[in-house]
Structure 1
Amino acid sequence: MDVEEGETVLDAAFRQGIALMHGCKEGQCGSCKSRVLSGDVEMLKYSTFALPDYERETEHVLLCKMHAFSDIEVELLNFDEELLSHAIAVKSFDARLSKVTALTHDIRLLEIELDKPMKFFAGQYVDLTLPEAGITRAFSMANAPVEGTHLSFIIKKYPNGAFSSQLDGALQPGAVLTAKGPYGTCYRRENRSGPMLLIGGGSGMSPLWSMLSDHVQSGDQRPVRFFYGARTRADLFMLDEIKAMTAALPDFEFIPALSHATPDDQWDGETGFIHEVVQRRLRTEPLAGVIDAYACGPVPMIDAVLPVLQMANVEPDHIYFDKFTPATR
């Protein structure tokens, strides 16, 4: 693999269609952690939560933040044979905004049209850039990966979010964007017969909805349990679409949970944080077969649900997750 000057090792792999394990691409999640066996490298700024100092002292690196200054030999600590065999080269696309729809007080559905079709797997994401503002953010596709130019994204709006704050009026239909991708290793695995767990919160709905839509289109008959965490009833959305999914699938259950339910919610469903609900359900209603679990959402949610899945005997190499880390640029 060739690495150009000023290019990180991970970006070089993307450019050449080599699918290495990765997550945030920002030096915050640790998914691309590897070990340098030989060669001269330099690390850009990264989070010590992703790569502690004691690991750096033993030649561990983050490929998303590593530049090579000689021929190098690297040991991949996270290796996925299936991922390597399903590589899609990262490409850049010109795009225009089609529509922005409010789903809740702080969740928006962004729809764009690309200049050419993009191939991706359900659950992957792209980097979207507003060229005039110079703002780039990573967003997961919400639509199934059909051959076409339309992409949709479920996005959480933050009060001071450089990108998301543009979604309520500043960005108008026809606005120019660029999309670069696809990225991500948390995508729907095909040709599996065991149960599928989908676990999310907030804009984690986006990749999970892509996976669920792709699952329906595939004709797979495997059991699906979709756990979704929200604060209050007003934070739930796409309930009509989920009801239609329930009717279309033979063994599907949507399990929403409210962490801050109020009397006004008149809620008789699950309460508590979503990892607590997952733990209760897997304990009282165990699923037969080899489970594939997909978890997408904020870092604290992912960190809480991973040990729950492990204690429920979900095989580690069948747990896929996407941590939505804060933007660093």
Structure 2
Amino acid sequence: MANEHLVRFEPVDLELLVPESKTILQAAFDQGIMLMHGCKEGQCAACKSFLLEGDPDDVEHDKYSTFALPDFERDEGHVLLCRAHAYGDLTIELLNYDEEVIKSGIPIQDATVEVVSKEKVTRDLCNLRLRLVDPPALRYFPGQYVDFKIPGTDICRSFSMASTPTNGGDLIEFVIKIYPDGHFSQILDNQLAVGDRLEINGPYGMFTLRENPDAELLFLGGGAGMAPILSLLRSMAENDIKRPARFYYGARTKDDLCFEDELRAFESTLADFRYIPALSDADDDSDWDGATGFITDVLRGDVTNLDGTDVYICGPPPMVEAALEIMPSLGANEKRIFFDKFTTSGEPESS
């Protein structure tokens, strides 16, 4: 049996050779093809596709969640590209894809990085800055993420860059949530020191700024969802992008807000930008005169029509799910809603 097989994708007229040792999604990443994906662990269904041609027995899946691919869907011919291995030539219909970015991917790289600094910016968010050692540079799009290999294990955790490829040179920056029982969180909080080295792999992710110059932008975030949105805003400032933009950020208290000075400065440096933080538990913040309540409720009170707006949502699953539920009532076009749903440890831990 051959070690590689031809996989064709419809309706995008794309094909690639896939080694049996790699999943179809991994093979695409290696060749700079940015297929739709999320967790890469068979849990989110973002990469779910359909086998059009080929023997179903020539598709074998690594372990996955039946929430992402129920047995009846697999029996019908659905596959999860992040878990599927090809053992014969196949033709696959992509159910979720973005023609704008599918052929604009960057081949995945392994890199060694060194800790430059780590700073608690809130009680449970850490600003981690790393220097690239080998290679000395890493290509990525603002809004993407990399996988961190947990030292001494084969386990990886995913974290979004807050930096941009140009503003840090050989430095990359992250905003990472510290979970009490998080495997990487505890290493970061209690063990990792300046000068320590880590192994990373990437870039991954579809949370990138799409070309749509006439559309306004709405960013909605919470927790460590600050990181990729900060990367996008920094990129907009660097590239003098003049699209009107609003950033709604939800936190519990004032102590849970971060990067306030930089975000307020964007209101001057970006052509038409407003930053709207909201506190869901402002009882002890007697001097707070900003918005209060859940960020989705604040948004719904401020905005009545998102028709023609590109919407970017990033944060913990409950916030993302609540935001997605209200988008139709606000007139948002589902094809212009882009989101990252961060998970906690026990699932792939991402921030």
TM-score bucket of the superposed structures, by smaller chain: over 0.9
Indicate the SS of the match to 1:84: coil
Query: 1:205 aligned to 226, 233, 241, which one?
Result: 226
Identical-pair percentage:
46
Superposed, 1:17-166 pairs within 5 Å as 17-37=32-52, 38-39=54-55, 40-114=58-132, 115=134, 116-146=136-166, 148-166=169-187
Q: Distance in 2 between matches of 1:46 and 1:58?
A: 17
Q: What is the count of residue pairs matched by the alignment?
A: 326
Q: Is the 8 A contact 2:100 2:210 kept in 1?
A: no
Q: Which residue does 2:206 correspond to in 1?
A: 185
Letter in 2 for 1:127: D
Q: Which residue does 1:273 correspond to in 2?
A: 294
Provide TM-score, normalisation by structure 2.
0.88
Letter in 1 for 2:59: V
Q: Distance in 2 between matches of 1:197 and 1:124?
A: 18
Moved more, 94-103 or 128-137: 128-137
Q: Is the 8 A contact 1:135 1:163 kept in 2?
A: no
Provide TM-score, normalisation by structure 1.
0.94
Superposed, 1:281-292 pairs within 5 Å as 281-283=302-304, 286=305, 290-292=308-310
CA 1:264–1:291 in structure 2 vs 1: closer, same or farther (change >3 Å)? closer
Q: Deviations for 1:107-160, whole angstroms, at most 9, x for unmatched residues?
A: 000111112211111100000123335442100000122173210000000111
Q: Distance in 1 between matches of 2:324 and 2:286?
A: 29
Query: Unaligned regions of 5+ residues in structure 1, if any?
Result: none
Query: Unaligned regions of 5+ residues in structure 2, if any?
Result: 1-15
Residue 303, structure 1, aligned to residue 318, structure 2 = no
Indicate the SS of the match to 2:22: coil
Indicate the SS of the match to 1:302: helix
Moved more, 259-268 or 142-151: 259-268
Q: Which residue does 2:242 correspond to in 1?
A: 221
Moved more, 167-176 or 128-137: 128-137
Q: Distance in 2 between matches of 1:135 and 1:31?
A: 21
Q: Which residue does 2:5 correspond to in 1?
A: none
Q: Which residue does 1:4 correspond to in 2?
A: 19
CA 1:41–1:300 in structure 2 vs 1: closer, same or farther (change >3 Å)? same
Q: Distance in 1 between matches of 2:86 and 2:103?
A: 25
Q: Is the 8 A contact 1:130 1:176 kept in 2?
A: no
Indicate the SS of the match to 1:36: strand
Q: Distance in 1 between matches of 2:344 and 2:59?
A: 26
Letter in 1 for 2:184: F
Indicate the SS of the match to 1:47: coil
What value does the CA root-mean-square deviation take over the aligned residues?
Answer: 1.8
CA 1:67–1:304 in structure 2 vs 1: closer, same or farther (change >3 Å)? same
